[in-house]
Structure 1
Amino acid sequence: MASADMVAAEDRSPTQIVDAFVASLQQNDAIAEDDRQQALAAIRRLRQDERTRDSVITEGLRLAYPPFKDALKALGDERYPDALRVLDELANAEDRFLVAAAMLYRVRAYSMQQRHDEALGLLQDLAANYRNDTLQMPEIVYLTAVAEARLLQREEAIGTLKGFLQQYPEASRRLRDAAIAQLEKLQEIDFSLLDDVHDKMSFSLRQLTKQDSGPQTQRVQENVVALLTELISEIERKGGA
């Protein structure tokens, strides 16, 4: 999916999304009745407070689906293989809200493990197919830009960040500040040579850790050598000045 398309589609309002989530819980016979009632009670409470509205679906799913609760606990404990095993299974559930949440938490696990290419694929799938089944679209778009930047897709990341800032003026201050800072870095005309070397070396290390020595990795490594040579020459020039 092109970055510009990620924020182009018309979204349902948060209220409409939560209403649809409540209806899905009420109609889902696979959920234990006690779990359903706990989830619905939590939703009624959380949606009344602007500070907790964004967590309505996550908390509802956590109470309605014990395996999802277990996966979040494993993720919080940094037991990524355990968390991913459960989240992978939940990604095949019939509940679209559960699928979307499981995918987003898989993204977070992948990002913590520097698996940005896998995270990007999930983020693009979320934006294309589940944007009306989650309250986290601002975060999804921002994380897409982060993954693109980590994968050295700078033009795509710039487009995604611009789209994020335009489409989500009501996103949290934390996300907007982070997006602005990331955009400023990517748009620097005289991009810091040292930053460029660092980014490319980090990319190469991630790829080699995955035993990926394909053409892109080799090109980046050659670029790193050239940049290091340029950096050394610049230091020598300054030292001789």
Structure 2
Amino acid sequence: MSTEPLLVRARGLWEGLAAAPVSFAPVGGVDVVVSPESGMCPAGWVGLVSLGGSAIVTAPGERAAAIVRDALEVLPVAAVTDADAVRGVLPVARVLGPAMLAYLSPDAFRPVRPGAQAVEQLPGEHPDLRRLEQLAGEEDTGEAGLREITSPAFVLREGGEVVAAAGYRSWPGRTAHISVLTAPAWRGRGLARVTGSATAAHALAVGLLPQWRAGVPASRRVAVALGFEELGAQLSIELA
């Protein structure tokens, strides 16, 4: 699959999550719509997603949409999901992101062999995953979202304890939203690549589009190593 089919599927996903008539322009442009039920951001916030050089934005009401529409006119499309740039033109109270959005096609996938460590499958509600979340801490656990996965969890153990895990949550548009979490003491050893690879392989095998959303450079590097292609970014803001 080339970049264009990936982009078409990714755009279709986010246009659906917008929960209002909106579309990415074929070349450039920002489409701002009112959507109180938007799935692109928390309720009452403004959601901004850029993909392939175009962007869509959802606002909770008419007044917010008008403010955002006027403000974003002065920004290039590439800056619509740049938190600092958006703060420069809008009164922002809180921000989530930005996070890069990367997608994987079967022909670009670069699977990772687990080596001496066997990848085990666990149900998403398994208590060993909750123990891993305790080790990782509240912030990283919330970012990873392992509690939300609908797939099996693909895990690595050390001394009987789960030290890394990944899985995916089924999203609209036959999308697999991937979650990855590694215990702090075990980071930097390639474990996320192994569990992430097993998760991506499972998603591709059932015809889903793997999506990797990452804000930190280390997570983005894992995605790129597996063959994911970064096509855009997501940002959520609460207006002051």
Q: Return the structure number with greater strand share.
A: 2
Could you state the TM-score of these two structures normalised by the residue count of structure 1? Answer: 0.30
Could you state the TM-score of these two structures normalised by the residue count of structure 2? Answer: 0.30
- Comparing both chains, which one has the higher relative contact order based on Cα–Cα distances under 8 Å and sequence gaps of 6 or more? 2
Radius of gyration: which is bigger? 1
Q: Return the structure number with greater helix share.
A: 1
